Chains A and B, each alone.
Chain A
Amino acid sequence: MSTPLELLFEKVKSKNRAALIAYIPAGFPTQAGCAKVIRALAEAGVDAIEIGYPYSDPVMDGPTIQEAAEISLKGGTTAADVFAALKVASSTGVAAVVMTYWNPIEKYGVDSFAQSIFENGGSGVITPDLTIEESGRWLEATSKYAINPIYVVAPSTSDARLAEVTSKAGGFVYAASVMGVTGARANISVDASALVTRVRKVTHLPVSVGLGVSTRAQARDVAAYADGVIVGSAFIKLLLEAKSEQEGVEKISYLAKELALGVREGR
């Protein structure tokens, strides 16, 4: 049986457009606020939502997501809150996944984590610091619960390694647009399209591009060559800068609608 995420990519392919994927950490800006943001994103036309598991040592994240994770952890976010947010997301009808560093999965229990993803309507998990060499138990668990193990690849990843990683991956391939950490950037490097081209040579999986996308124009540019456009820090920045939660949610909603137009203008 296909996951909602796999069905989503079939759908957008048939419509000849890219999917819009939004990232929001669980428990940010608050538990209740996170649920509001998720619903606003879904209503504004986002196709899939990644729920971030806030972690104390996020080495792949720039200052914006670090700050959001710290706020969430100070608010006492637990694994249960991550799964609750996942359930809110999947209940809206969009494809929902969790993005987490590896240690929380290991601490929760590898098999149990995959099971909880499945039971809360999740399609899969993005694991940015789990290498393919360390994935044995995780791939067994994701296979058992029929969820997608989603891996991040980088411009520096060799062709041979791209083939190896994507042969084990599911759902989509997360292509990091630049060498660096998460965060909005003025320019999405040419590396991104070159990487997508290289990934397509070794797999039929959809390829989504993340790291740095924040505007409708960037979404349109990336949608021209990728199957999915991932936006995280840009949303979080709006929430961090907003004077009230309500204002933040409204601004997120506006940006999401713009980006949803952008991914439809790419081809």
Chain B
Amino acid sequence: MSIENSDVLGHFGQYGGRFVPEALIGALNELEAAHIAAQSDPVFQAELAELHRTYTGRPSIITDAKRFSEYAGGARILLKREDLNHTGSHKINNVLGQALLTKKMGKKRIIAETGAGQHGVASATAAALMGLECVVYMGEEDTRRQALNVARMKLLGAEVIPVTSGSRTLKDAINEAMRDWVTNVENTHYLLGTVAGPHPFPTMVRDFHKIIGEEARAQVLALTGKLPDAVLACVGGGSNAIGIFHEFIPDADVRLIGLEAGGDGVETGRHAATITGGTPGVLHGTRSYVLQDENGQTIESHSISAGLDYPGVGPEHAYLHDIGRAEYRAINDDAAMNAFALLCKSEGIIPAIESAHALAGAILVGQELGPQATLLINLSGRGDKDVQTASEYFGIPL
């Protein structure tokens, strides 16, 4: 298996590719060329590395979660602390890379979609840093639930447009961003926030996040003298998971485990576990697993975590699933919130609810493998944004 996985048209096996209006082909080709050039351009790479060192705060550290370990069958739990990055999650890795590419392409305006607001905030941050105009599309429902992040984006100088079409959530924000892009493609870059969408997005966004796994693999080796038994990450669109998985793909003995949002339970139909509970199809420009009905209509997803609440998933994950290189499990809302509370109280770290799905996975896998095992968990984001949701869940009066 090639470590790159994809062919020149951006296919991962039968997944990926491009399913977009012809109007976007030119822009996608331009972006692909810019990405390929940047990958082998030492000036670009140095510029990005310097930004990561002086702005993002990379490398992010590894924390040995010794007290949390007792809930995970005594397995050694190593947390990759992407929550400590500037803006509070892994999302900054990708937006800085794409914002630099935007400047290289001579475009002055970026648009982005956001669900919980993390990618929107990161995009607004990068736009402010680089002097770009920024418009963020956000489902009207989400602007209400995540009012604090809307305010953050506005403080950073971005325009936030509430989306009132369809289900008024993340998938409709993506639809609206694509409509904007079709109309304004000449001066605008669509700064897509996950490893989905038409080629080259799944490959390019992965390339900007693979630094997570590169750092973590070396850090775990330095700390423990061996590779971890398993690497775990939450999967919505799948960007933080691909970011930490990628470097480990050739390490056949290292299990790669993606944790999807099981919502009320996959069996209830109210979930966002796209690989576990979906079927192959096309959504937002790429072929992958999709939550859809028998007429090919997208089914609304459900999760307590806004960042995982998406009815699609990156095509590389679909491929890694089908070839058996990675495994995907669903974590219900309650299990995720239990892990959220345990990490708060055992380690003094408030995780993002997204990342809490990976922690719940670590509890399960740790109990299966026992105290000899070492598990590497991508702690993809911090939980400040989730204080209101968590307070409501645990009945803490605000």
Contacts and interface: CB of A to CB of B under 8 A. Distances in A.
A52 to B, nearest CB: 14
A130 B182 contact: no
Nearest to A58: B175
B131 interface: no
30 contacts: A57-B171, A57-B172, A59-B175, A59-B284, A60-B21, A66-B165, A73-B297, A78-B294, A79-B296, A103-B296, A104-B295, A107-B292, A107-B294, A108-B295, A128-B21, A129-B21, A129-B285, A130-B19, A133-B18, A134-B287, A151-B22, A154-B21, A154-B22, A155-B23, A165-B22, A179-B182, A179-B184, A180-B179, A181-B179, A181-B183
A106 B281 contact: yes
B283 interface: yes
Interface of A: 55-60, 62-63, 66, 70, 73, 77-79, 102-108, 128-131, 133-134, 151-158, 161, 165, 176, 179-181
B22 A102 contact: no
A103 B290 contact: yes
A105 B284 CA distance: 15
Contacts of B23: 154-157, 176, 179-180
Interface of B: 9, 17-23, 25-27, 165-166, 171-172, 175, 178-179, 182-186, 281-285, 287, 290, 292, 294-298
B295 A60 contact: no
A57 B283 contact: yes
Contacts of B182: 59-60, 179-181
Contacts of B17: 131, 133-134
B298 to A, nearest CB: 4
Contact of B186 (A63, A157, A179): A179
Given A102-B282, A107-B292, A157-B26, A131 B297 contact: no
B22 A176 contact: yes
A116 B46 CA distance: 56
B166 A103 contact: no
Max chain A Cβ within 10 angstroms of own Cβ: one of B22, B179, B182, B292: B22
Contacts of B171: 57
Contacts of B175: 57-59
Q: Which 5 A-B pairs have the closest CB atoms?
A: A107-B296, A104-B296, A154-B23, A180-B183, A59-B178
Contact of A59 (B18, B21, B184): B21
Given A57-B283, A77-B295, 11 more contacts: A57-B175, A79-B296, A103-B290, A106-B282, A107-B292, A108-B296, A129-B21, A152-B21, A157-B26, A179-B185, A181-B183
A259 to B, nearest CB: 25
B185 A156 contact: yes
